[in-house]
Amino acid sequence: MKKGLKLTDILVTIVISLVFGVIYKLWSPVYSAVKPIGLHVDQLLYGMWFLAGPLAFLIIRKPGVALLAETAASSGELLMGSEWGLSTLIYGLIQGLLAELILALFRYKKANVLVVSLAAIASCAGSIVFDYFQGYIDALVWWNLGLFFIARFVGSVLIAGVIAYGLAKALEKTGVTGLVRGSTEEDVRSLDD
């Protein structure tokens, strides 16, 4: 086994990510439209922008995939003419890096809903750090800032954790994940039988 990502892994990750790039782009007007409702209902939707990384990891389960997916999805969003402009690239990179970090902490061995939710939370924390520099969020009134945090974290766990896991499970049933994951120990054992 060669180390690192093969062309197949990269191509599959980037194709998935670009699909999410389109979704990310279409998600922005939805988010902006919900925003004036106030009370940070919009933040519940924010998790959508973290979905590509955990999902790509769940499908391919290799180191580096989450980072690549999130960065590629954000550049896809940029190429679609994102409202957030080049800052999507920075967001994507930070979110991808932090999700990757969590997955690395588990040595890429665990791929359950808890781990991807943690990765989603890490992405979320990363986005908030950049928001702090960009959006003066510290200047919101305290109760409002609290709501902001809660809504964004809950949204990310729901979308980039639970939904990502559900989607990956459904994809496993179609059998496509077998194409990219390569042979498992179980497959090798079945050859001996």
Partner 1 sequence: MEGIAKETWLHRVNPSIKLLLSLGVLISLLFIHNLNVMLLLTIVIIICFAFGTGVSRKIALLFFLPFFLLFCSSVLTMALYGKGSTFWWEWGIFRVSEESFYRGVHLGFRALTFGLIGLIFVCTTHPVRLFYSLMQQLRFPPKFAYSFMASIRLLPIIWDEFQTIRMAHQVRGFSPGKGWKGFKSKLSAYAVPLLAQSIRRAYRIAVAMEAKRFKGNQKRTYYYQLSIGKWDFLFLLFLLGITGIVWIGSEWIQLLPNQDVRLV
Where on the chain is the footprint of partner 1 (CB under 8 A)? 6-8, 10-12, 14-19, 22, 28-29, 32-33, 35-36, 38, 42, 59, 68, 72, 75, 78-90, 133-136, 138-141, 144, 163, 166-167, 170-171, 174, 176-177, 179-180
Smaller CB separation from partner 1, 106 or 137: 137
In one-letter notation, the amino acid at residue 120 is: A
Residue 16 in tokens: 């998935």
Smaller CB separation from partner 1, 133 or 191: 133
DSSP class of residue 162 equals I
User: What is the smallest separation between the CB atom of 104 and partner 1, expressed in angstroms?
Assistant: 20
User: What is the smallest separation between the CB atom of 113 and partner 1, expressed in angstroms?
Assistant: 15
Q: Annotate 35-57 with three-state secondary structure.
A: HHHCCCHHHHHHHHHHCHHHHHH
Nearest residue to 72 via CA among 179, 27, 164, 55? 55
User: What is the smallest separation between the CB atom of 192 and partner 1, expressed in angstroms?
Assistant: 27
Smaller CB separation from partner 1, 42 or 123: 42
Nearest residue to 16 via CA among 45, 57, 47? 57
User: What is the smallest separation between the CB atom of 170 and partner 1, expressed in angstroms?
Assistant: 5
Residue that has been written with the tokens 């945090």 in this structure: 149
Smaller CB separation from partner 1, 31 or 106: 31
User: What is the smallest separation between the CB atom of 163 and partner 1, expressed in angstroms?
Assistant: 7
State the DSSP string of 101-115.
Answer: HHHHHTTTT--SHHH
Residue 115 in tokens: 């781990």
User: What is the smallest separation between the CB atom of 73 and partner 1, expressed in angstroms?
Assistant: 11
Smaller CB separation from partner 1, 58 or 99: 58
In one-letter notation, the amino acid at residue 116 is: V
Smaller CB separation from partner 1, 125 or 171: 171
